[in-house]
Amino acid sequence: MATAGKVIKCRAAVAWEPKAPLMMEEIEVAPPQEGEIRIKVIATGLCHTDLYHLVDGDKRGFPVVLGHESAGVVESVGPGVTDYKPGDKVIPLFLSQCGKCKFCKCPKTNLCESSWATKYHDIMAEPTSRFTCRGQTILQFMGTSTFSEYTVINQNAVAKIDENAPLDRVFLLGCGITTGYGAAVNTAGVTPGSVCAVFGLGAVGLAAVMGCKNAGASRIFAVDINEKKFEKAKVFGATDFLNPKAYNKPISEVLIEMTNGGGVDFSIECTGNTEVMRSALESCAKGWGVSVVVGWTNVQDFSAKPIQLIYGKTWKGSLFGGFKCKDSVPKLVRDYMSGKIMLDEFITHKMNLEQVNDAINLMKTGQGIRTIMTVSK
Amino acid sequence: METEGKVIKCKAAVAWEPGKPLSIEDVEVAPPKAHEVRIKMVASGICHTDWTFLHEVGKTMNPQPFPVVLGHEGAGVVESVGPGVTKMAKGDKVIPLVVPQCGQCERCLSPKTNLCSKNWEKTQQCLLADGTSRITCKNQQVHQFIAISTFSEYTVVPEDNVTKIHPDAPLDRVCLLGCGVSTGYGAAVNTGKVESGSTCAVFGLGAVGLAAVMGCKAAGATRIIAVDINSDKFEIAKTFGATEFANPKDHSKPIQEVLRELTNGGVDYALECVGNVGVMRAAVEACSPAGGVCVMVGWTRMGELTLVSEDILLGKTLKGSYFGGWKSVEAVPKLVQEYLSGKILLDEFVTHRLTLDQINEAFDLMITGKSIRTVIQM
């Protein structure tokens, strides 16, 4: 390939500092080193985590190219890479799966020692980067940095997918949909016939609703203060719809009443709001209720009465839906291609990378579910 | 027996009001009504919950009804049964239960929980199913602590709150299976589901914590780190299976940091057996992010556990249990069997033996950390 082994000049959306709009810049992308893959990014989405970092992130995490939900094509590979070749369709991953560390060998976790998160989760990026702009190093967000026409990622964090997969759909499996869906089917372990409640109906929450439905739940409460989201929740399988602002008592009490005093079997919190995390736990059935925290925040502490747990509830967290990323994402792609999971219905807006600040504004104002941004042709 | 069907006058330790020592009184115990069992108590242990109920009102315990006869860790012999009771009869050895098992409600039919919902509200109000008590003193109704009241020579318990045990069982030891030992042991094997080869940490080395250590060992844990601010407890923790000991006061760093370093990232299972929200947080933070499980065992109804949500987001699980998750009526007789066959230890928990009129002394021993379990011989 004409670009292999050379520095590529291309366009990327750079966040020079917190809270400032992203700037389209020409950057230089170095060739992949040992064990790395350089990818031409075709499509990318915007996640709340990108927004959190931009608005509230640690200053040491700047300047940075954001983006961690994408799909693309291998442009070239570095020394030691044998499982990937130019032209392969891939999805970059913000988690790693080296397959050799104690975490990868443990069926209970999807953490990996080789991940950036193991050491640098405060700044959300590795200190070394393959990006430079006007002589300055630009960090790569979550090891992925997909707001760029080209990016470089360690092979431990790249999933090779079906050659027929539509990249403008399956990019969603890089973060949001996998996260929500897996929280239901893996972490919560939703069972057939059960009663579930999903708090927060963005892409992650809707994916959780889809997961509850696929797991055979008999009743799925969709909870959000924005009722415009109820229609889409129904599409994904929700059976009941609750706006906490429509009640003068806590939503957990409403849910307990609506389930004949028992509480739901599974609750999944997808907002990142600690008050909602508490409500989700308190909505669960005494004795066996399971509540899963999916929404992310490092700003506030969560608080609950220990008696909730002593009376038999379980509280857990879920990262990337509990999926072993390299093993699972290709399977989820095939599930989409065979109609088992929905992806099209999550996409509400289409833009190109130059319009990234518009996409950010849509997310800030709660409009739409997922915006797809075309990055490269 | 000449007492059958009649009111029995006997001695009981009555708590007239919160914050005051128990008072040994002559009480009257009415005959059992339908589906109730009157028991001659032979032995009773003393639990921290009894003390909490009496002394921690408004702190870690919600306001509770007084006067009350406390005690919920006892063993005795059936004196008589009320109409409809078929599972036990006069002379049977029995253990009253802090959690019932009616066998019919949704929760009893679920394999996931032991929290029988029958009579739940009444027992939490320290009354029997019909909303009254069977104990009176000086013409005043006296509440029965979670419908049990083992600090009395005789008590009356709903039949779902009592289980028949092996006739050879030594009541002065198996009484501990009424609460503390079953709670700690079950928290490890049932709730935490400790796995063979795992690394565990147990916070707090009273009877519940030591039983949790024993449960971790029975489950085949490789490393069991016993944590307590009282180093005098480490010797007995070793008896129950602890492999390592940590006193938070010996370290300048937070204990969870110490444990994470000792275990290269965190323990697989942590069991909090103190009932302190600060310790609960430390226990959570001591767990491995890769599937670590933290079980809340120590009781506190009030108080708020505060955590960084990121702490569990990576993959930790928090849970808790009541009475070790055991289905009480069917499990306690099996635990008695396990004691009789040498599978679980009970003798080693008993550090003092006193009489009912020495019950306040027993409380002092517990609060000052001088005892593991004191058994009151009735």
Give residue B182's identity as a one-letter amino acid code: S
The pLDDT score that the predictor gives to residue B301 is 65
Look up residue B138 and give its two tokens: 């000086």
CA distances from A87 to A37, A67, A80, A157, B221 (A): 12, 22, 18, 17, 49
Q: Is the pLDDT of residue B354 over 60?
A: yes
Confidence (pLDDT) at B173: 86
Distance between CA atoms of residues A350 and A285, nearest Å: 41
Distances in Å between the alpha carbon of B165 and those of B87, B161, B323? 11, 13, 18
**A213 lies in a domain?**
yes
Q: Give contacts of A 249-288 with B, CB under 8 A.
A: 262, 274, 277, 286-288
- Please indicate whether, in this complex, the C-beta atoms of B304 and A305 are within 8 angstroms of each other: yes
Closest listed residue to residue A319, CA positions, set B294, B306, B309? B309
State the nearest Cα–Cα gap between A280 and chain B, in angstroms: 13
What confidence category does residue A116 fall into, taking pLDDT thresholds of 50, 70 and 90?
Answer: confident
Q: Which amino acid is at B204?
A: G
Please report the DSSP string for A88-106 in residue order: -EEEE-SS---SSSTTTT-
Non-local (6+) Cβ contacts of A325 within 8 A are A93, A95, A96, A97, A110, A157, A159
Does A309 sit within 8 Å of B296, measured CB to CB? Answer: yes
pLDDT at B224: 98
Phi, psi dihedrals of residue B298, rounded to the nearest 5°: -60, 140
With CA atoms as reference, the chain A residue closest to B301 would be A307
Residues of A within 8 A of B318 (CB-CB) are: 309, 314-316
Out of B115, B277, B318, name the one closest to residue A286 (CB). B115
The predicted pLDDT at position B88 comes to 93
Closest residue, chain A, to B314 (C-alpha): A319
Chain A CA closest to residue B109: A287
Burial of B107: CB neighbours in 10 Å, binned 0-12, 13-18, 19+: buried
List pLDDT tens digits, range A73-96.
999 999 999 999 999 999 999 989
Over the stretch A163-181, which tens digit does the pLDDT of each residue have?
Answer: 899 999 899 999 999 999 9
Task: Judge whether residue A122 has pLDDT over 80.
Answer: no
Spatial separation of the C-alpha atoms in residues A91 and A172, rounded to whole Å: 9
What's the pLDDT tens digit per position in A243-256? 998 998 899 999 99
Contacts of A216 (CB under 8 A, 6+ apart): A190, A191, A192, A193, A194
Q: How many CB pairs under 8 A join A and B?
A: 124
Q: What is the pLDDT of residue B235?
A: 87
- Residues A209 and A311 reside in one and the same domain: yes
Q: What are phi and psi of B254, to 5 degrees?
A: -60, 145
Give yes or no for residue B147 having a pLDDT over 70. Answer: yes
Chain B residues whose CB is inside 8 A of the A293 CB are 309, 312-313
Out of A301, A305, A310, name the one closest to residue B307 (CB): A301
Are A212 and A294 found together in one domain?
yes
Closest CA to A187 of A111, A266, A284: A266
**In chain B, which residues have their Cβ closer than 8 Å to the Cβ of A261?**
none
Question: Cis link prior to B65 (omega < 30° from 0)?
Answer: no
Residue contact A319–B322, C-beta within 8 A? no
Cα(first)–Cα(last) distance of chain A, in Å?
17
For residue B56, pLDDT beyond 80:
no
If one counts the domains in chain A, the total is 2
pLDDT at A117 over 80: no
Q: How far is A126 from chain B (nearest CA, A)?
A: 19
- Determine the pLDDT at residue A298: 66
Confidence bin at B87 (pLDDT 50/70/90): confident
> Which residues in chain B have Cβ-Cβ distances shorter than 8 Å to A204?
none
Q: Are A194 and A271 found together in one domain?
A: yes
Say what the pLDDT of residue B343 is.
83
Q: Which carries the bigger pLDDT value, residue A49 or residue A12?
A: A12
Question: Quick one: A260 and A366 in the same domain?
Answer: no
Chain B residues with CB-CB distance to A under 8 A?
106-107, 110, 112-115, 275, 277, 280, 289-291, 296-322, 325
Question: Closest Cα of chain A to B304: distance in Å?
Answer: 5
Q: Which residues in chain A touch residue B290, judged by CB atoms under 8 angstroms apart?
A: 102-103, 106, 108-109, 111
pLDDT at A202 over 70: yes
The predicted structure's pLDDT at residue A296: 66
> Which residues of A fall within a CB distance of 8 Å from B114?
287, 312
CATH number at residue A305: 3.40.50.720
> A210-235: string of b/e by CB count within 10 Å (b at 16+)?
bbbbbbebebbbbbbbeeebbebbee
CA distances from A193 to A18, A209, A372, B203 (A): 46, 14, 35, 38
Burial track B161-190 (b if 16+ CB lie within 10 A, e otherwise): bbbbbeeebbbbbbbbbbbbbbbbbbbbbb
The one-letter amino acid code at A193 reads G
- Domain contains A219: yes
Residue A303 and residue B112: Cβ atoms within 8 Å?
no
Pairing of strands A301-304, A36-45: unpaired
Which candidate, B337, B356, B355, B358, places its Cα nearest to that of B346? B337
pLDDT of residue B61: 64
Answer whether A185's CB lies under 8 Å from A211's CB.
Answer: yes
Rounded Cα distance between B155 and B27, Å, is 10
Cis? peptide before A79, omega within 30° of 0: no
Which run of H or of E encompasses A45? strand A36-45
- Please answer whether residues A206 and A199 qualify as being in contact, where contact means their C-beta atoms are separated by less than 8 angstroms: no
Distance CA A53, CA A147 (A): 14
Nearest-CA distance from A294 to chain B in Å?
7
Residue A338 located in a structural domain = no
Q: Which of A303-312, B11-20, B73-82 has the lowest mean pLDDT?
A: A303-312
The verdict on a CB contact (< 8 Å) between A314 and B299 is no
DSSP designation for A148? B
Which carries the bigger pLDDT value, residue B71 or residue A47? Answer: B71
Please give the average per-residue pLDDT across B5-18, as a whole number.
93
Q: B265 φ, ψ to 5°?
A: 125, -15
3-state secondary structure of B13: strand
* A278, part of any domain: yes
For range B88-99, the mean pLDDT: 95
Expressed as residue numbers, the domain containing A358 is: 346-376
Predicted pLDDT of residue A119: 66
Pair A296, A372 in one domain? no
Contact status, residue B108 vs residue B102, Cβ threshold 8 Å: yes
Instruction: Indicate if A312 and A366 belong to the same structural domain.
Output: no
Q: Which residues of B touch A318 (CB under 8 A)?
A: 313, 315
Identify the pLDDT of residue A300: 67
Summarize the confidence of residues B238-258 as an average pLDDT: 95
Model pLDDT, residue A172:
96
pLDDT of residue A80: 96
Same domain for A219 and A285?
yes
A181 in contact with B, Cβ within 8 Å:
no
8 A C-beta contact, residue A167 and residue A29 = no
Mean pLDDT of chain A: 92
Residue for token pair 């050659």: A163
> Are A182 and A239 part of one and the same domain?
yes
Distances (CA, A) of B342 to B93, B242, B329, B335, B352: 20, 18, 21, 10, 22
Q: Are residues A295 and A207 in the same domain?
A: yes
Identify which of A106, A274, A303 has the shortest CB distance to residue B291. A106
Q: Residue B254 pLDDT > 80, yes or no?
A: yes
A102 touches chain B (CB under 8 A): yes
Tokens representing B261? 């370093």
Can you tell me the mean pLDDT for B201-218? Answer: 97
Percent of chain A surpassing pLDDT 90: 74
CB contact under 8 A, A111 and B322: no
User: Lowest-pLDDT range, A62-66, B54-58, B79-83, B248-252?
Assistant: B54-58
Q: Does A312 touch chain B (CB under 8 A)?
A: yes
pLDDT band with cut points at 50, 70 and 90 for residue A275: confident
**Which of B309, B326, B327, B328 to probe the A interface (max A CBs under 10 A)?**
B309
Strand spans (E) along A244-319 = 266-269, 290-293, 301-304, 314-317
Instruction: Report yes or no: A316 at the B interface, CB cutoff 8 Å.
Output: yes
Radius of gyration of chain A (CA): 20
Question: pLDDT value at position B52?
Answer: 85
**Shortest CA gap A135–chain B (Å):** 35
pLDDT surpasses 60 at A130: yes
Q: Which domains does chain B have, with CATH numbers?
A: 8-178+345-377 (3.90.180.10), 182-322 (3.40.50.720)
At residue A157, the pLDDT reads 96
Mutation to test the B interface, candidates A309, A311, A324, A325, most B Cβ within 10 Å: A309
Contact A317 B309 (CB under 8 A): yes
> Is residue A282 a part of any domain in this protein?
yes
Q: Which residue of B has its CA nearest to A308?
A: B320
Verify that A186 and A229 share a domain, yes or no.
yes
Query: What do you get for the CA distance between the two ends of chain B, in Å?
Result: 19
- Judge: A108–B316 Cβ closer than 8 Å, yes or no: no
Which pLDDT band, with edges at 50, 70 and 90, does A121 fall under?
A: low
The mean pLDDT value for B144-158 works out to 94
Cβ-nearest to B313 among A262, A288, A317: A317
Q: What is residue B200's predicted lDDT score, i.e. its pLDDT?
A: 98
| Predicted local confidence at residue B40, as pLDDT | 92
Q: Check A293 against B280: CB less than 8 A apart.
A: no
Average pLDDT of span A125-149? 92
pLDDT in tens, B260-311: 999 989 999 999 999 999 999 999 999 999 899 999 999 676 788 988 877 7
pLDDT of residue A358 exceeding 60: yes
**Is A185 in the same domain as A316?**
yes
- Domain co-membership, A181 together with A300: yes
Residue A130 lies in a domain: no
Q: Can you tell me the distance from the alpha carbon of B275 to that of B236, in angstroms, rounded to the nearest whole number?
A: 21
Residue A141 lies in a domain: no
Smallest Cβ–Cβ distance between A304 and the set B304, B316, B319 belongs to: B304
Q: Are B314 and A322 a contacting pair at CB < 8 A? A: no
- Residue A268 lies inside a defined structural domain of this protein: yes
Token pair of B34 as six digits: 């339908």
Residue A270's closest chain B neighbor by CA?
A: B313
